[in-house]
Amino acid sequence: MIPKVFREVIDLGDGREISIETGKLAKQAHGSVVVQSGKCMLLCTVVSNYQQSDVDFLPLTVDYREKFAASGRYPGGFFKREARPSDGEVLTMRLVDRVLRPLFPKDYHAETQVMVQLMSHDDDVMPDAMAGLAASAAIQLSDIPFETPISEARVGRVNGQFIINPTRAQLLESDIDMMIGASADSVMMVEGEMDEISEEEMVEAIKFAHDAIKIQCAAQVKLAEAFGKKETREYTAEREDEELAKKVSALTYDKVYAVARAASAKHERSAAFDAIKEEVKATFTEEELADYGGMVSKYFYKAEKKAVRDLTLNEGLRLDGRKTTDIRPIWCEVDYLPSTHGSSIFSRGETQALATVTLGTSREANQIDMPSFEGEERFYLHYNFPPFSTGEARPLRGTSRREVGHGNLAQRALKGMVPVDCPYTVRVVSEVLESNGSSSMATVCAGTMALMDAGVQIKKPVSGIAMGLISDAETGKYAVLSDILGDEDHLGDMDFKVTGTADGITACQMDIKVKGLSYEILVNALKQAQAGRLHILGKLTETIAAPNADVKAHAPKMITRVIPNEFIGALIGPGGKVIQELQKATKTTIVINEDPITEEGIVEILGTGQEGIDAVLAKIDSLMFKPVVGNSYKVKVIKMLDFGAVVEYMDAPGNETLLHVSELAWERTENVSDVVNMGDVFEVKYFGVDPKTRKEKVSRKALLDKPEGYVARPPRENNDRGGRDNRGRDNRGRDNRRDDRRPRENRKDD
């Protein structure tokens, strides 16, 4: 018997719907829902242990996976099972995690796992836009402590009209692709890419998405009420001691304030804070520290946070001595690495990124193979964050989710500036060598310069800046911080990164940690970010003003040629023999793709030497060479035969034809060598395909004057040798032949 199902439907306003249902699947999970739009179905479950973990943070895991069966496909490769998550899945996990995590109680430390799975795919529905809704709805149906329902929505804009959760086809026409996460009251997360839009347009898009999210949050509340809202579980909360908090604050606040005001460097400042913390601990006995040493550390952090924030709100000063709008000192350099195709260094304060560019053919494109999307990227960026960049020693465990996310943000910032007709596959790699605040924005700046150094003709240079916010709800004071430090990121109320050209925003990533942030403050922050971006952009263009006119001498040059479909096979040759020998002889890389619409061949020729590229182009021209009837062409004798000479067109090496002995000269020619010899160069006239021989006909004599008194030999008549009708029939017709085969008694003449 199918169990009772509870269901709520969300109207997207344009004929599309999203449904949330529970009660049928995964009932042993603490909360489970199926979210559906069209044929797209997501199953989300949440489970949280009832025992608190022995850690001082929330061990939350958000996992998003797409099952290949959902789109009727097999996983690629030899191992036919879904394994490690793709970058696309990791990015969706991060989007959901960033909105959920702040809404759990600060002292809730139970192991919690949210799992979202794509179970059925619809080509017209992008599932990542519904993952946040599914996660929040599952939590609402559980007894897990959670502040308020949230949801996420993607917003696009086509022909000036905003669209909620656009299809992938609509996104191709959209100038905005933003994901917004919010509760009914507050926007909490923004991430996306844009086509050089203004700050006001970005805020309009956020508002539009927030209106849709409010409806989705209300649907979750209704579903939970219909299902039967569970009582929130009880858990062992962290110990609190107001007297201890006051004592720690009294011992540390002024000292921390003084260190913060001293404008010291990162490691010097950290050492000073640690020394103050040790002084505080020294005022307690070993027994007291054993009993509540963890609380001392917690209250010290609170005092530190308040002192640093008060310094900024009261005096407008920051940890490194800057004012709120100041940008740290910047220096840049290009062409630092001699062997790369392009390179640059971007240093801003204590953050440094070294970027490289590598140019290749379509064969080097990044292949994307997900159940919800198949395709390739001809421009992609990888971001590496080694432990030494923060002065740490820790093991490397592969690419982290953070590295995937920061690299994706920088890629989205730059990709719109790479021309569509760029012939290369372009890979940018950012190595973060120092980090104290926004290495992802340093990556954008370094990537821009490396692309220009490599000779990639980007439309405009792009810069990026990380902004922060410190606010006080009681007094109404707030301060927007330009180019934040790592400490300001941790201690602040908002971290948002904005990238763009001189004409508009190309990408953003925003995490808002306070409730009810006004749109007025958001617009002011974006305007201040614009001023910072333009300042940084000026530093970049001082170093390299425009892309280099050409790629470096040691970098590969790329030439693209389009050839008719019928010539592809000739260029490849039997078993690839022709193309392989050509690549070896010319020291080039040749890639042939077929245009899916025109079915023409797109030939990519990559090589460091122009001579090799020219040789390949000459070979292609030779294969495609078609002489025109009536035109004359210079040829060279490459082979002597008894009945003529094989000649090669000088304009198309390798393209040859037979010059028959009868077309050598007007006089009768007994021996071919009497007229021409190997290596002779002369002109011939092209007559097209001879209808009798069905072979191409060229003539040397047609371009020569006829000898004086020359008399053309009359053409042969059909009956010179009896004609086809008389041949073999003079003595015996077909009837007689039949009579010969009959028995004598049956013959007609008997």
Residue ranges at the known binding site for Mg(2+) = 489, 495
d(CA 448, CA 544): 10
d(CA 333, CA 446): 9
* Ordered DSSP codes for 488-522: HHHHSSEEEEEEEETTEEEEEEEEE-STT--HHHH
Per-residue three-class SS string for 530-565:
HHHHHHHHHHHHHHCCCCCCCCCCCCCEEEEEEECH
d(CA 458, CA 327): 26
Buried b or exposed e, range 98-118, using 16+ CB within 10 angstroms: bbbebbbeebbbbbbbbbbbb
CB distance 430 to 449 below 8 Å: no
d(CA 340, CA 450): 10
CB distance 180 to 209 below 8 Å: yes
CB distance 131 to 152 below 8 Å: yes
Instruction: Give every CB contact of residue 668 below 8 A, 6+ residues apart in sequence.
Output: none
d(CA 638, CA 646): 6
Residue 520: closest CA among 476, 560, 488: 476
Instruction: Give every CB contact of residue 288 below 8 A, 6+ residues apart in sequence.
Output: none
Binding residues: 489, 495
Strands 425-434 and 379-384 turn out to be: parallel
Long-range contacts of 715-721 (CB under 8 A, 24+ apart): none
SS3 call for 202: helix
Torsion-angle region of 160 (φ positive above 0: left; ψ -120 to 50: alpha; else: beta): left
- Alpha-carbon distance values, 236 to 48, 60, 101, 146, 251 (Å): 14, 17, 19, 15, 29
